[in-house]
Chain A
């Protein structure tokens, strides 16, 4: 018989480069070129992208971090340098994502400290970095200016632009040649709108990673899953304003009831499984970067992604 499946795709996902090595003027040991997909995730015969990549999320003030991670990582969380290093060398992440949680206090103005935190992360690991700015629009401009400047030449991924606040981050990305994350609330049209706004102020398509916002498994994940599928579908159908790689992070995972109220001796396992199920499903929907906070999730995801990328990991039963 012989079957042939046709999807009639005409478009492909645009490529974005994250991290710069020495030859490109940075100090990273690796630089990722993500995107490039021409069909649904994991169906490309010869995928050019190294995705999905696993980003390990850390922060510079652990008061704002889940107690589950504080317990598991212990003293590490109070030492940004060591925490970032462990994410790379011990836990085996592909990227480190630093949240500048220290800025989440009233009238924050210690911008040099922010620069210092980014410097620390850059020196602790030679993996490409994602830097998450402030929660407060009033200080965006100073924060992103500082992050952009300190990371100059490193091709950071800066987060996070939203429709109501994208100018400061865009300015920093433009001035220092970084990529940025464009987040919209689980809606393909809003994602497109924001990408157009960014384009109009001069951000090139190959500097944008879409974050369609990931609701945690059990708390709206299905909406995010479909938003990601629709974005990928639109891109493959030829809509260039949606043809960027996607990032998925479900920030509420460690605070939902199932994880928070799990038996103490099973809590790490619950956290890991919840992150794993969410991240893997997001990758299947088209996310090229998935972000996790529990170190143990990284190993599990790596195994699964290895099987999905290369087809290794035999499933022969008998």
Chain B
């Protein structure tokens, strides 16, 4: 069980020495309670207190960083089973897989794609995260050459997949200082793998069939001096992955099995159902997902799903309030008012674009609330609409004085007319019907 901040405070020296970087022992205690600080930062703790606190204040899932620099990513430090309980913090890295048996040109083109391709939606730049290179050739030399090909093109996080410590050593000569993730240590080869990982300071995947074997392997590897571990659950099927991964998440966050408190690795290419694998991986707690290079359709869907699931459910996503144009609206173009909840905005914008009627969207600041909630909470009211019309200079943009408001804002129509002097038309509740509405009501 996690300790409360005050219980932790009792164990601290209460010197307020600031050596941990916090102004007081109490603030340090609060950070520890939230899993946001490490007990080792306090130089005055005795070993007993350290052990007690270490076990209960460490994040239940270790944070592991893969790669270095701008494109590196960190995974782990998750606290919940459901995103609605808090949020998911660290989106999984999705890496494209190549084989060292492929010709260098192919490897280079996949690398270039991951380096350059990005997809912008809701203001965020969505990208794939790196390259996984598999040693299918069984030659250390070929493996090293392929890694060199990738390294020359881009500073991307890598996964090096090989069961041979020699091949890994040869490859690490090219990328050892860039924290590639090494795949994988098993209960047969872990000593050699740990030695390689330790020498280069790399994170290491441990792979086993059963949870107790994984836990044991994690213990063995940490004893060998490798702390940054990622777990490959060797699932027999997608169903098996859901079940193992859910068990591990639950055991880790409840601190029932601290030895399983590491991020999860998932190879989505197995089983011939890669798209399904990616969906399940993203939803069910995978932190490093390896896939073959994806078609544009799957690529967009996968990045969008990841963005959706890792959006903080406590924060509404907002648009900047203002006057937006759809097409090139003229003086007689309709003006549609709605809220600055970004989903409302994008949904309405999408339907407006497909009507091919140029128009203005007046986005008012409801702090990201949807129409229904903003009306209920009084955030959307006639004063806000009046002020927004003035602030964004709508009167000088159009020659008419008609404002279309969302169907759910109908109760406000009279008050908006009084406050603004504009004529109010009540639009449909469902954005999908806006085309029909404009054609029938506006053109009249």
A interface residues, Cβ below 8 angstroms from B: 1-3, 5, 7, 40, 42-43, 185, 215, 217-223, 225-226, 229-230, 233, 251-252, 255-258, 260, 262, 266, 269-270, 272-274, 276-277, 280-281, 284-285, 300, 303-304, 307-317
Closest 5 pairs between A and B when the two form their complex, measured CB to CB:
A304-B276, A315-B270, A1-B212, A222-B308, A273-B297
Question: Chain B contacts of A185 at CB under 8 A?
Answer: 372
In the complex, the answer to whether A226 meets B84 with C-beta atoms within 8 Å is yes
Are A280 and B279 CB-contacts (below 8 A) given A43-B243, A273-B298? yes
In the complex, the answer to whether A313 meets B305 with C-beta atoms within 8 Å is no
In the complex, the answer to whether A217 meets B304 with C-beta atoms within 8 Å is yes
Are A304 and B238 CB-contacts (below 8 A) given A185-B372, A316-B270? yes
Are A272 and B297 CB-contacts (below 8 A) given A3-B257, A316-B270? yes
Q: How far is the CA of A43 from the CA of B240 in the complex (A)?
A: 9
Min CB–CB distance A160 → chain B (angstroms): 13
In the complex, the answer to whether A257 meets B350 with C-beta atoms within 8 Å is yes
Q: Which chain B residue shows the least CB distance to A230?
A: B84
In the complex, the answer to whether B238 meets A307 with C-beta atoms within 8 Å is yes
In the complex, the answer to whether A217 meets B272 with C-beta atoms within 8 Å is no
Within B342-379, the residues touching A (CB, 8 Å) are: 343, 346-347, 350-351, 353-354, 372
Q: How far is the CA of A185 from the CA of B344 in the complex (A)?
A: 13
Are A277 and B302 CB-contacts (below 8 A) given A1-B216, A3-B212? yes
Question: Chain B contacts of A307 at CB under 8 A?
Answer: 237-239, 271, 273, 276
Question: Chain B contacts of A42 at CB under 8 A?
Answer: 239, 242-243
Q: Main SS of chain B's interface residues?
A: helix
In the complex, the answer to whether B271 meets A313 with C-beta atoms within 8 Å is yes
Min CB–CB distance A240 → chain B (angstroms): 21
In the complex, the answer to whether A315 meets B236 with C-beta atoms within 8 Å is yes
Question: Chain A contacts of B257 at CB under 8 A?
Answer: 1, 3
Q: Which chain B residue shows the least CB distance to A232?
A: B82
In the complex, the answer to whether B279 meets A277 with C-beta atoms within 8 Å is yes
In the complex, the answer to whether A310 meets B239 with C-beta atoms within 8 Å is yes
Min CB–CB distance A259 → chain B (angstroms): 9
Question: Chain A contacts of B272 at CB under 8 A?
Answer: 313
In the complex, the answer to whether A281 meets B239 with C-beta atoms within 8 Å is no
Extra 13 A-B pairs, beta carbons < 8 Å, given A226-B83, A304-B275, A307-B276: A3-B212, A217-B305, A221-B305, A222-B313, A226-B82, A226-B313, A255-B351, A256-B350, A266-B295, A280-B279, A300-B275, A307-B271, A308-B238
B41-49, B245-253, B380-388 - interface stretch = B245-253
Question: Chain A contacts of B238 at CB under 8 A?
Answer: 304, 307-308, 313, 315
Q: Find B247's partner among A5, A277, A281, A317 (CB 8 Å cutoff).
A: A5
Q: Which chain A residue shows the least CB distance to B307?
A: A218
Is B17 interfacial (CB-CB < 8 Å)?
A: no
Q: Find B256's partner among A3, A222, A255, A315 (CB 8 Å cutoff).
A: A3
Q: Find A315's partner among B241, B302, B309 (CB 8 Å cutoff).
A: B241
Q: How far is the CA of A285 from the CA of B84 in the complex (A)?
A: 12
In the complex, the answer to whether A303 meets B276 with C-beta atoms within 8 Å is yes
In the complex, the answer to whether A314 meets B236 with C-beta atoms within 8 Å is yes
A-B contact pairs, 11 of them (CB 8 A): A217-B304, A219-B347, A220-B347, A252-B347, A266-B296, A273-B300, A274-B297, A308-B276, A312-B237, A313-B238, A314-B271
Question: Chain A contacts of B284 at CB under 8 A?
Answer: 284
Min CB–CB distance B92 → chain A (angstroms): 14
In the complex, the answer to whether B309 meets A222 with C-beta atoms within 8 Å is yes
Within B252-270, the residues touching A (CB, 8 Å) are: 256-257, 260, 267, 269-270
Is B280 interfacial (CB-CB < 8 Å)?
A: yes
Is B425 interfacial (CB-CB < 8 Å)?
A: no
Min CB–CB distance B89 → chain A (angstroms): 15
Question: Chain A contacts of B251 at CB under 8 A?
Answer: 3, 5
Q: Which chain B residue shows the least CB distance to A275?
A: B301
Are A314 and B237 CB-contacts (below 8 A) given A255-B354, A270-B297? yes
Q: How far is the CA of A217 from the CA of B246 in the complex (A)?
A: 23
In the complex, the answer to whether B304 meets A1 with C-beta atoms within 8 Å is no
Q: Which chain B residue shows the least CB distance to A268?
A: B297
Question: Chain A contacts of B353 at CB under 8 A?
Answer: 257
Mark interface residues in B65-83 (1 if CB within 8 Å of A CB, else 0). Answer: 0000000000000000011
Question: Chain B contacts of A251 at CB under 8 A?
Answer: 432
Is B121 interfacial (CB-CB < 8 Å)?
A: yes
Mark interface residues in B206-223 (1 if CB within 8 Å of A CB, else 0). Answer: 000001100110000000
Q: How far is the CA of A108 from the CA of B247 in the complex (A)?
A: 54
Question: Chain A contacts of B236 at CB under 8 A?
Answer: 311, 314-316
